Chain A
Amino acid sequence: MDTLKIYFRLIILSIKCRTQYRADFITGILNIITLNAVQLGFIGILVNRFTNINKWTIWDMLFLYSLWMLGHSIFAIFFWHLLDMENYIVQGTFDQFFIKPVNIFVQFIGRELQYMGIGDLLIGVVGISIAYVNLKLDWSILKWAFFIVSVVSGSIIEIALMWICASISFWMLRSSTTFAIISQLDSMIQKYPIDIFGTGFRVFITAFIPVAFINYYPSLILLNKTNILDKWSFLAYISPIVSIILLIVATKIWTIGLKLYSSSGN
């Protein structure tokens, strides 16, 4: 609990820092909004020409994308700093976390927030609202609960995967490119419904690098499309479980990585 308190102190300070530069703040968010707008533009052009992508209409696609954005923004705002880890290790500034009586991961993450992630959050909220209205969705309380759980579990999956990527810095430097690559792969898979891919690939992104659970599977339930999965429809429900498993894996890898750092220096 102490650790949590310290973490909050750290991020409040980080926010204090950032909001000193007002103009920066706004351009940064616009930066991200533009990025997302362009991504949606790509999808929009395709759907405009072809009416739908494998029976996913423009609103379905918007929903899929926005659901991803909601979870992604949590990662982007609070855990983006993970990408910096290799710099801390290379420059030796990672050592300082060892000499303070606080959990090392919390110290590291609490160091900096990435306010640009707010742009992702805005896109997510606006996108989901527009899609919800245009799809004439009418969720029961249960569905709303599932929606919230999906957003949280989606963000946990992303955070856990990126955490694992960051931990790779303990074994080999230059892991930041792994992020960029996972992000690239990520964005292709999160943007399009995975039913357009072949079975082998679908198995890969379900069982090995479970990014399909971030937004695709939950959206099948929220959009009443579970019939696509046929006898595999249980997959649509297990995102929360997947997220917890992944989180445990990530913490284990981090712990092992720390031990390695301690024993081999840099």
Chain B
Amino acid sequence: MICVEHLTKEYKRFVHKNGAFSSFRNLFNREFEIVKAVDDISFDINNGEMVGFIGPNGAGKSTSIKMLTGILTPTYGKVVIDSINPHKERKLNAKQIGVVFGQKTQLWWDLPVIESLRLLRDIYKVSDIRFKNNMLLFNDMLELYKFQDTPVRQLSLGQRMRADLAAALLHDPKVLFLDEPTIGLDVITKERLRQFIKEINANNNVTVLLTTHDMSDIEKLCSRMIIINYGRIVYDGSVEQIRMQYGKSRILCIEFEDNVPNIKIPYCTLLKSEGKKLWIEFDKNEISSSKIITQMTENYQITDLTIQEPEIEEIVRSIFQDINTNPNGGM
């Protein structure tokens, strides 16, 4: 569905002069340098996949999305969405995609939501039946009926995001792009939105590409994630795989019946102890959890035991740190 090959985006950036009278010198001439916002990225996304893009600020996520949606022209490389070039055939591509920008709304600010939706219906030439059906869906899953007559200006952030989602999906696009969709939302609204996106992806076979800072978005929605840093793809694979490859450590939390004893186990680090609880970090590749547990239960009285998997957040952070010290590293 989406084919990206050697996509690159370079910018000229003006260099600001410093020093005496710099303000006046800037009036007369300027220097610039070339910045690579996106550096030779390639990937394919199949019909119906849900892929998450994650990366620090300035990594090139938004720039990539802009190239995929036809806003920016690539400096080098190729982008094709269902055999349509987003930049060369802008209007044609526009009919098959839906976009939600997390921080900017596409709706008309002073108009009630329903008016914006009706206008979009006309712009995209959505048939009355499809419009009706989609509105039913939105009312059901997004509770749009609760605020569809309110001007967009007066909506809360959560309501606005729901309205924007409805607007993006009104014309049944094949691909849905979400640029930081859950930013600034409360936990409940985030959950609701994620549910909705999951349903749309599953039932309507809409391919979804989402960029986010929020790891839980990716964990809860995407089977596949692409990590971008400094404009390059650092990882492209399943979420599970990342956990397996990088998530070597586990944390074992043991609650003793009596006081915490002095323990020394190979391949384990004592993290902290609080009251009767002890946290141990161990490398699962070197020692299995069952071995540790057996050793514990053989020697001590245990009342409770939990094993924590590392947060994807931590994993991603350590990948970035790896890359920062070794910029040519990666997958």
Residues of A within 8 A of B (CB): 5-6, 9-10, 13, 16-17, 91-93, 95-96, 98-102, 111, 259, 262-265
The reply to whether A101 and B119 contact each other, CB–CB distance below 8 Å, is: no
The reply to whether A101 and B104 contact each other, CB–CB distance below 8 Å, is: no
Evaluate whether A96 and B95 lie within 8 angstroms (CB atoms) in the complex, with A262-B87, A263-B73 already known.
Answer: no
The reply to whether B119 and A95 contact each other, CB–CB distance below 8 Å, is: no
- Can you identify 28 A-B contacts, CB atoms within 8 angstroms? A9-B122, A13-B111, A13-B115, A16-B115, A17-B108, A96-B99, A96-B104, A96-B106, A98-B69, A98-B70, A98-B90, A99-B70, A99-B71, A99-B97, A99-B99, A99-B106, A101-B91, A102-B91, A111-B108, A259-B73, A262-B71, A262-B87, A263-B73, A263-B75, A264-B11, A265-B9, A265-B11, A265-B66
Q: In whole Å, how far is A6's beta carbon from the nearest beta carbon of chain B?
A: 6
Q: In whole Å, how far is A144's beta carbon from the nearest beta carbon of chain B?
A: 38
The one of A6, A92, A263 that contacts B104, using a Cβ cutoff of 8 Å:
A92
Asked if B124 is an interface residue, CB under 8 A from chain A, the answer is yes
Q: In whole Å, how far is B115's beta carbon from the nearest beta carbon of chain A?
A: 6
By Cβ-Cβ distance, the 4 closest A-B pairs, closest first, are A101-B94, A101-B91, A98-B71, A262-B73
The reply to whether A95 and B91 contact each other, CB–CB distance below 8 Å, is: no
Tell me, in angstroms, the Cα distance from A265 to B95 when the chains sit together: 22
Q: In whole Å, how far is A158's beta carbon from the nearest beta carbon of chain B?
A: 27
The one of B37, B92, B104 that contacts A93, using a Cβ cutoff of 8 Å:
B104
The reply to whether B101 and A17 contact each other, CB–CB distance below 8 Å, is: no
> 19 more A-B contacts (CB under 8 A) besides A17-B111, A101-B90?
A6-B123, A9-B119, A10-B119, A13-B108, A13-B111, A13-B119, A92-B101, A92-B104, A93-B104, A95-B104, A96-B106, A99-B99, A99-B106, A100-B94, A101-B123, A111-B108, A259-B73, A263-B75, A264-B12
Asked if B72 is an interface residue, CB under 8 A from chain A, the answer is yes
- Could you tell me how many residues of chain B have their Cβ less than 8 Å away from some Cβ of chain A? 31
In the complex, the chain B residue whose C-beta lies closest to that of A94 is: B71
Residues of B within 8 A of A (CB): 9, 11-12, 37, 63, 66, 69-73, 75, 87, 90-92, 94-95, 97, 99, 101, 104, 106, 108, 110-111, 115, 119, 122-124
The one of A95, A101, A259, A264 that contacts B101, using a Cβ cutoff of 8 Å:
A95
Main secondary structure of the interface of B (DSSP, over half): mixed
Tell me, in angstroms, the Cα distance from A103 to B94 when the chains sit together: 11
In the complex, the chain B residue whose C-beta lies closest to that of A263 is: B73
The reply to whether A95 and B66 contact each other, CB–CB distance below 8 Å, is: yes
In the complex, the chain A residue whose C-beta lies closest to that of B75 is: A263
Tell me, in angstroms, the Cα distance from A100 to B99 when the chains sit together: 10
Evaluate whether A102 and B12 lie within 8 angstroms (CB atoms) in the complex, with A96-B101, A265-B63 already known.
Answer: no
Which of B37, B106, B115 gathers most chain A CB within 10 Å?
Answer: B106
Q: In whole Å, how far is A92's beta carbon from the nearest beta carbon of chain B?
A: 6
The reply to whether A6 and B71 contact each other, CB–CB distance below 8 Å, is: no
Evaluate whether A95 and B71 lie within 8 angstroms (CB atoms) in the complex, with A101-B95, A102-B123 already known.
Answer: yes
B residues in contact with A17, CB < 8 Å: 108, 110-111
Tell me, in angstroms, the Cα distance from A91 to B123 when the chains sit together: 24
